[in-house]
Amino acid sequence: MSEHVKKLNLWNIVGLGLGGAIGTGIFVLLGFGIQYSGRSILPVVMIGCFFMLLAYWFHLVMPSIFILEGGDYSMKTMLFNPTFSGVAAFITVINGFAMSSYAIAITDYLSVLWPDVKNYYKLVSFVIITVFFLSTVGGSRFITLLENAVTIVLIASLIMFIIFGVPQVHFTKYFDPNYDGGFFRGGFSGFISAIAVMGWACQGTTMAPVSMAAVTKNPKRTITEGIIIITVILSLVYGLMAYVAGGVLPYAKIAGQNLSVTAEAILPKGLFLFFVVGGGIGAIASSLLGGLAMVRYPLIHIAEDGWLPEMFKMKSKNGYPILVYSVFYLVSVIPILTGMTLDAAVSLVMIPTMIMNIYMNLGCLTIPKKYPKQWANRSIKINHTFYNICCVLGAICAGIVAFNLFKDLNLRDTIIAVIMLALMFFLSWLRLKQGAVSKEKLEENKREVVKKALEAENTLGGNYEI
């Protein structure tokens, strides 16, 4: 990148990170968190933001040690062994379940406007996901503009929700242990289950910042500080939203429901329609379009790297990855056609992701010894012992999320989860054994990522106040 290009500062990173972190998860999952924990959803989301930050410990600590232009991809390339590299590739395919959760959520919000939609729930969700996939065939150049517009509407919707809702919560009753089933309605286990199910909404604090190292001023300090600030702000915003969602209506009316139920009770008719169409449907549709666009090139790389059979490299004349996108589409419709609930679809994405996070957080234990110079120049000046404790705690947090999501699945979805995990590990092992994926190439990629990180440190490190 040219030296004349203006780089991002701390508040640029904070703004970018908040835009990515405050998303559709809070619109669609807050009611499920309330279902597990009742009004203690307030501390659930506030603690949950920091809990998920710890579950993504490697996202916080690795940018403070290395300048990794490839973000999450570079981190995993550095620490994964060949088998886990394959599992990570297949998790990208399994992320189709997340796409289905967006379609299901749009259907939920449509049913608020037109109740008859509930009678055709599967069909409507299937049509939505199919139409959105078809939109990717010719590309979606308007996605960036759409997402910028939707972000403004989304923020406006959240502000409205908080401003109109907070005065309608009876503060004393909210914390009354004898009111409406008590504060910690589900006990400690319900509290932990709520943190696990809200993990999807609370996990976004690190995603955007870690990918911005190449265009950030003083990245080792800026990205790390930015992530911490984003997490604090998100915790406060989500806390206010949870306070309203958990305190305006009785438990029976909001448990397992999306935010439109509370919004209808607190907002005037016109603003309620704005909240549902702009904040709810608009934000979810934007996330679905963005998710489908972002997964295109990772899917191409997965096929080209050999994790899928040769035929999956097929592309149309304009470069559209026909077969690999078809597989992603088929994965996306499974939750819809099987009648899977929204929280279960999210869980089937989060469980393998958290297993990967366990591996990554424990892998960070080796960094100080392998890269003593970079460790000495880290921007987080914590001692080695405390660092190791955080690595282990991060792995434990990720494990708690995975375990609680898994135990709360019904029998059918539990079987799907087990088969899915076993299949990903088996396919990874098989493709390596067949020689379809070169271990030597994976090691070469790892060396290249490390080389670039060290070169960035040597070339740019002197310009940073670390």
- Two structure tokens written together for 236: 């406060």
pLDDT range class, residue 147, cuts 50, 70, 90: low
Band of the pLDDT at 351, cuts 50, 70, 90?
Answer: very high
Which of 286 and 246 is assigned the larger pLDDT?
A: 246
Question: What is the overall mean pLDDT for the chain?
Answer: 86
In eight-state DSSP terms, residue 169 is S
Phi then psi for residue 4, to 5 deg, are: -80, -10
Mean pLDDT of 15-40: 84
Place of tokens 């305006």: 248
pLDDT at 68 over 60: yes
What band does 1 get if pLDDT is binned at 50, 70 and 90?
very low
* pLDDT grade for 4, boundaries at 50, 70 and 90: very low
**How many CB atoms lie under 10 A from the CB of residue 236?**
13
Q: State yes or no: pLDDT of 203 exceeds 50.
A: yes
Over range 72-92, report the average pLDDT. 88
In the prediction, which pLDDT does 3 show? 44
pLDDT over 80 (residue 271): yes
Comparison of pLDDT for 153 and 460, the residue scoring more:
153
As a whole number of angstroms, the distance between CA 26 and CA 202 comes to 8
Residue 416 has pLDDT above 50, yes or no: yes
Condensed to tens digits (0 to 9), the pLDDT of residues 316-331 reads 777 778 888 888 999 9
Query: Which of 265, 329, 247, 318 is CA-nearest to residue 292?
Result: 329
For the record, the structure tokens of 229 come out as 């600030």
Which pLDDT score, from 0 to 100, does residue 25 have? 80
Alpha-carbon gap, residue 63 to 213, rounded angstroms:
8
- What is the C-alpha to C-alpha distance for residues 414 and 416, in angstroms, rounded to an integer? 5
pLDDT of residue 28: 82
Q: Give the tens place of pLDDT for each residue, 372-385.
A: 988 998 888 889 99
Give the span between the Cα atoms of 387 and 373, in whole angstroms: 16
Backbone φ/ψ region at 339: left (φ over 0), alpha (ψ -120 to 50), beta: left
Percentage above 70 pLDDT, the chain: 94
Contact criterion met (CB below 8 Å) for 200 and 350: yes
Which of residues 451 and 466 earns the better pLDDT score?
451
Tell me the C-alpha distance between 101 and 34, whole Å: 19
pTM summary value: 0.85
pLDDT for position 244: 95
**Per-residue confidence (pLDDT) for residue 238, from 0 to 100:** 93
Lowest mean pLDDT among 36-40, 180-184, 361-365: 180-184
The residues, any chain, with a CB within 8 Å of residue 117's CB and separated by 6 or more, are: 107, 110, 111, 124
Distance separating alpha carbons of residues 292 and 147, to the nearest angstrom: 13
C-alpha closest to that of 323 among 310, 332, 336 = 310
What is the mean predicted confidence (pLDDT) over 50-61?
A: 95
What is the structure's pLDDT at 460?
54
- So what's the pLDDT on residue 268? 94
Contact 50, 407 (CB under 8 A): no
Instruction: Indicate the DSSP class of residue 216.
Output: B
As a dihedral over the C-alpha atoms of residue 412, residue 417, residue 420, residue 426, rounded to 10 degrees, the angle is -120
8 forms beta bridges with 216
For the cut 60, the answer to whether the pLDDT of residue 144 exceeds it is: no
Which sign, positive or negative, has the C-alpha torsion 55, 61, 62, 68? Answer: positive
Distances in Å between the alpha carbon of 419 and those of 348, 352, 407? 11, 12, 15
Higher pLDDT, 211 or 257: 257
Q: How is residue 29 written in tokens?
A: 């999952």
DSSP-assigned beta bridge partners for residue 216: 8
- Residue 309 structure tokens: 């059979």
- Chain CA centroid to CA 95, Å: 10
Q: How far apart are CA 245 and CA 264, in angstroms?
A: 11
Give the CA dihedral 268, 270, 276, 281, nearest 10 degrees. -170
State how far the Cα of 380 lies from the Cα of 65, in Å rounded to an integer: 8
Secondary structure of residue 360 in the 3-state scheme = helix
pLDDT of residue 208: 79
pLDDT at residue 143 tops 80: no
Find where tokens 């139920």 sit: 261
430-461 pLDDT tens trace: 999 999 988 888 888 888 888 888 877 766 55
In the prediction, which pLDDT does 145 show?
56
Total Cβ atoms within 10 A of residue 414: 14
What the block records as the tokens of 392 is 């282990």
Helix intervals (H) in 218-295: 219-247, 251-254, 260-266, 269-274, 283-294
Band of pLDDT at residue 356, cut at 50, 70 and 90: very high
| Domains of the chain, each with CATH number or no CATH | 21-451 (1.20.1740.10)
Q: 448-455 long-range CB contacts below 8 Å, 24 or more apart? A: 449/68, 449/70, 449/74, 449/77, 449/78, 450/78, 452/69, 452/74, 453/66, 453/67, 453/68, 453/74, 453/78, 453/374, 454/374
**Using one digit for the tens of pLDDT, what is the confidence trace for 128-138?**
999 888 877 75
Q: Are 150 and 283 in contact, with CB atoms under 8 Å apart? A: yes
Residue 462 has pLDDT above 60, yes or no: no
Taking residue 435's Cβ as centre, other Cβ atoms within 10 Å add up to 9
pLDDT of 293: 73
Instruction: Look at residue 384 in the predicted model and tell me its pLDDT.
Output: 93
Cβ atoms within 10 A of the Cβ of 448, count? 13
For residues 117 and 136, which has the higher predicted lDDT (pLDDT)?
Answer: 117
